[in-house]
A and B are shown apart, each in its own frame.
Chain A
Amino acid sequence: MKLSACNVSWSTGGVSILRDVSLDVVAGEFLGIVGPNGSGKTSLMSLLAGLRRPRSGRVLLDGQSVDKLGRKEIARRIALVEQQAETSERISARQAVELGRTPHLGPFTPWSARDDDIVDEAIRNVGMAQLTARMWHTLSGGERQRLHIARALAQEPQILLLDEPTNHLDIGHQIGLLHLVRQQKLTAVAALHDLNHAAMFCDRVALMSGGRIAALGRPYEVLTEERIRTVFGLDVDVEHEGEGRCHIRYRAPGAPTAVRPMLKRIS
């Protein structure tokens, strides 16, 4: 299963939001999308999910234009976890996850034991098994986020699109969740804010800036000190580790560069 964007542009209200974006998501890889607020990560995600149509260019799923596929067909292959999705309905945690089965059920197909198993498995996967009976509005932000991911897993997609999946999660759950996504036999695309998460978990990273892809490649190739300075306006030290991995050390604005060799010596 391969998802790709070819020279995609998108604009709304006369403002151009995405400009000439091209990327391929290879089967089985974990692709991270990083970039400042408003750089177009969410917009790109919704184009990849087929929720919006590009103004020009095409989004292809296995070489087929997503415009040509029905919504249901797309939803059986691609699941999306939105950046924000809330409800005031009095639904239970489990019911929220059950919604993930929607694309696999016809209007009058009865709910089956298999659907139950898939939902149970998804809930167990995100470690929410003990909270299934709780009402949605009584859950914490992090618990809700994990249920959204369980819902996406219950969709049994081949591709998982995650828009800031670690929002609201404590650091333990942030790492746990990204690890969980990695372990699934899935292709995943995640918009991430923490560059170190991208560096730790992603096979490749796309760096977005002003609606364009500024760089795309292995984390250590993309996340360089100069790029981070130009795109985020931030001074950092990038330390390279084994296996082509890297670690980004953020520096407080105005901190002298001279600290760097000293830090290196200490560590």
Chain B
Amino acid sequence: MIGIVPSLSRTSASLLALVVLLVALWLGAAIGETSIPMGVVAKTVANRLWDAGYGLDALDEGIIWNYRVSRAIVAACCGSALALSGVVLQSLLRNPLADPYILGISAGASTGAVGVAVLGIGAGLMTLPAGAFVGAILAFGLVSLLAMRAGRGHGAIILAGVAGSQLFNALTSLIVTKAANAEQARAIMFWLLGNLSGVRWPDVWLAVPVAVVGLIVCLWHARALDAFTFGSESAASLGIPVRRVYVVLIGTTAMMTAAMVSIVGSIGFVGLVIPHVSRMIVGVRHGLLLPASALIGAVFMIAADIVSRVVIPGQVLPIGVVTALVGAPAFAVILSQSRTVR
């Protein structure tokens, strides 16, 4: 059994994916503390995009357009980007446990973003996402170095990642306690747990290009990622310029993670679990696995965001809490299944 994907042509599969994504976004905009009928959502979007001129409650329209739509779009981008990062890292490092959160890339990005926001490092020159990118690259560099020192075993990189995460989280706490005032500190701590409440349209203009470029770069390398099945030497003998592929793809992963962390904070388990779920559905070939992971990641994140808003009335749960609550048990199931397979 290679997967339970129905044999669809490429175009119809892409169309289906687009429809699924649009429906998820639509639901994401409609459901919330106050549920708004789907029709109103559609009319709002029509009003804003094409000046359709439907008469709508200005408050509803404002909530939908200014908060919910942008939020749903960013959630989708974030889910895709993290899932893609997970697929790429798992393939390149040949490790089913790899993902940006576990490897400390997210923690490094947080430290970078906090460094810029609180300490004003590179003030004027560096934006928050740029700071996050530098932090992400530094963290991955440090973790790989540590892993190489610890030996090349399967567990080494994960252990190094755990150490790296702890280190960068500690650094973040240090920066926050030392330099931030009480209000800033509270806001940052809430953001660190993963939070979409602050998302507005400007964030969309960062999230969408990053996710789309990330997806294209990954798809461009789909065959190269397949070629890593038997390791990097084997990939090289199949004509893959291994070092260049590493640099481009790790860079892309860091970029996607950094951008998402700078917008919504670090969110765990999405990058880890979604690739495994996608593999069960479409198989291990990256030409299919990458788009499937991007779609499933996007839909999952929109759903998690909806849950985070409605599960406790009057309260918004950090989305990182929701993904962990769903992701941890899902991951346990995957782990125990993979044990019986091998």
Contact = CB atoms under 8 A, between A and B. Distances in A.
Contact of A90 (B227, B230, B233, B341): B341
A241 interface: no
B60 interface: no
Contact of A102 (B94, B220, B227): B227
B284 A103 contact: no
A96 interface: yes
A55 to B, nearest CB: 18
A92 B2 contact: yes
A100 interface: yes
A95 B223 contact: no
A90 B239 CA distance: 23
Contacts of B180: none
Contacts of A73: 239
Interface residues of B, number: 29
A174 to B, nearest CB: 22
Interface in A76-110: 76, 78-80, 82, 85-92, 95-96, 99-100, 102-103, 105, 107-108
Contacts of A89: 229, 284
B342 A86 contact: no
Interface in A55-89: 70-76, 78-80, 82, 85-89
A102 B279 contact: no
B237 interface: yes
Specify the main secondary structure of chain A where it touches its partner.
mixed
A89 B241 CA distance: 21
Nearest to B2: A92
A46 interface: yes
Nearest to A73: B239
Interface band, chain A = 20 to 34
Interface string B282-321: 0111000000000000000000000000000000000000
* Most chain A CB atoms below 10 A, which of B227, B238, B342: B238
A87 B239 contact: no
Interface in B224-269: 224, 226-227, 229-231, 233-234, 236-242
A80 B227 CA distance: 13
B146 interface: no
B230 A85 contact: yes
Given A89-B229, A95-B285, A71 B341 contact: no
A119 B221 CA distance: 22
Given A86-B230, A137-B341, A75 B239 contact: yes
Nearest to A77: B239
B237 A82 contact: yes
A102 B223 contact: yes
Contact of B237 (A75, A91, A107): A75
B240 A82 contact: no
B222 interface: yes
B92 to A, nearest CB: 13
B233 A51 contact: yes
A103 B222 contact: no
A73 B240 CA distance: 10
B12 to A, nearest CB: 16
B158 to A, nearest CB: 15
B96 interface: yes
Given A102-B226, A105-B223, A90 B240 contact: no
A62 to B, nearest CB: 17
Contacts of A80: 237
B282 to A, nearest CB: 12
Contacts of A96: 229-230
Contacts of B283: 90
Contacts of A107: 219-223
A71 B229 contact: no
Contacts of B241: 70-72
Contacts of A76: 239
A32 B20 CA distance: 57
A192 interface: no
A168 to B, nearest CB: 15
B149 to A, nearest CB: 15
Contact of B240 (A71, A79, A88, A100): A71
Interface of A: 46, 49, 51, 70-76, 78-80, 82, 85-92, 95-96, 99-100, 102-103, 105, 107-108, 137, 155
7 contacts: A80-B237, A87-B230, A87-B231, A88-B96, A99-B230, A99-B238, A102-B226
Given A80-B237, A103-B238, 5 more contacts: A78-B237, A99-B226, A103-B239, A107-B221, A108-B219
